[in-house]
Amino acid sequence: MKIWIKGFTGLALVTTVFCSAVYAEEPSGILQKSDKKFIPEIFTYNMTLRTKSADGKVDVVDYNGKKKHENNIMVTLNPVSARGQVNLKNRNVLWSYFPTSDTSVKQSYQAIILGTSVSYGDILAIELSRDYDVQSTAENSSLSNDAAGTNMYYLLALTPKKGVDGYAKIFIWINQANFLPVRREYYALSGLLVKSCEIKSISFNDKGVLSGADELFYEPLKKKETLVTFSNIIVLNDIRDTTFNPKAMKFFSGE
């Protein structure tokens, strides 16, 4: 009897180790692992969008945000003209609240945040594994901007999950050594590159938790780039679900 229990326990252990290994190598597993490593499940943050237009003009927008699982809410702090505007992702639906007109509207994922080159979906739906399936994977890929050529990358091709709005295809390069994303390219169904994103820096605190990140989005169609900076990240155990209720947007707006 004891031998049987030992055997069963051993078999379970081997199976778990084997499954974990397979999971780590599965395409969706790579994306999930990357998202988990990069983005905490529940946290508050500050975010700044610095947009440089083709004519050299620079616009800055500041937000304060809270994120819990797939939900995300951002309150605009600056510029003054947009202060109090709230953007919310509640499951798969995006909302915006405009305090000047006291109205809430559903937003499209692709709707551009005015004056920037990022869409609401780009900054509210930041965990790609929630909205995209991995269509194909390539290992040991290189990146043209990795001059030293010392790093190897997973190159994943993503397509949106059924029923989810999204880019027709996203290519994402993930560092094989640390599973952190390095670059994303966003394509339309026509094959046109509509946007790219280079993750310029990611920093972690002493506990190994994300403390800040810089992502540079570039839109070749508009010749415009936006540097998205996450800072002051505080990881929390929980945020009340009511925070992400569309009805709460007016409250967070400060109205």
Partner 1 sequence: MFIIFVLISAALYWTTGIANAVQKIEYHMYRDSDGDATIYLWGNYWGFYEGDKILKALGGLKVENVVLERSAWGSYVDNDKISAQGNVFELTPENRVRAKDWYYLSSGRLPEAPGEAAVPEARYRGFIKTGDEIFLSVYTPKDRVLNTLPFKVVGVLKMEPIKGFDSILVTKEDMDTLLDSKDIYNTVTIYDYFRQESLGKPALENSLNTLVSNVYMNLHMNNIMTDSHPWCFDIVDFIKQNQSFVTIFRGINILAILLLFPIAGAVIAITIRMLAIKRTAEFATYMALGFRNYKIIRNFVLEVVIISIAGYAAGIFIGAVSAGILQNMRVYLVFQDYMHGPIMLMHTIWDFLCILLFILVLTAVWSIPVISRIISKAPARVLREQSF
Sites of contact with partner 1 (CB under 8 A): 53-54, 108, 110-112, 114, 159-160, 163-168, 188-190, 192, 194, 219, 221-224
- C-alpha gyration radius of the chain: 20
Cis amide leading into 79 (omega within 30): yes
Task: In whole angstroms, give the CA distance from residue 189 to residue 22.
Answer: 31
Give the separation between CA 214 and CA 142, rounded to whole angstroms.
Answer: 21
Q: Which is nearer to partner 1, 31 or 233 (CB)?
A: 31
Task: Dig out the tokens for 223 from the structure.
Answer: 């010749």
User: Least distance to partner 1 from the beta carbon of 241, Å?
Assistant: 27
Contact, 229 vs 50, CB < 8 A? yes
Residue from 35, 52, 44, 89 nearest 202 by CA = 35
- Decide the pairing of beta strands 93-98 and 86-90: antiparallel
Q: Which is nearer to partner 1, 68 or 169 (CB)?
A: 169
d(C-alpha 151, C-alpha 42), whole Å: 30
Q: Least distance (Å) from partner 1 to the CB of residue 172?
A: 16
Q: How far apart are CA 170 and CA 198, in angstroms?
A: 13
Question: Minimum Å distance from CB 94 to partner 1?
Answer: 13
In 10 A of CB 128, how many CB atoms?
A: 23
Q: Toward partner 1, which CB reaches closer, 192 or 236?
A: 192
CB atoms within 10 A of CB 113: 24
| DSSP H or E run through 214 | strand 210-219
Shortest reach from residue 114's CB to partner 1, in Å: 8
Minimum distance from residue 36 beta carbon to partner 1 (Å): 26
What's the gap between Cα 217 and its chain centre? Answer: 12
Minimum distance of partner 1 from residue 119's CB (angstroms): 9
CB nearer to partner 1: pick between 110 and 243: 110
* Closest separation in Å from C-beta 158 to partner 1: 11
Smaller CB separation from partner 1, 67 or 224: 224
CB nearer to partner 1: give 112 or 239.
112
* Closest to partner 1 by CB, 180 or 193: 193
Letter for the amino acid at 140?
N
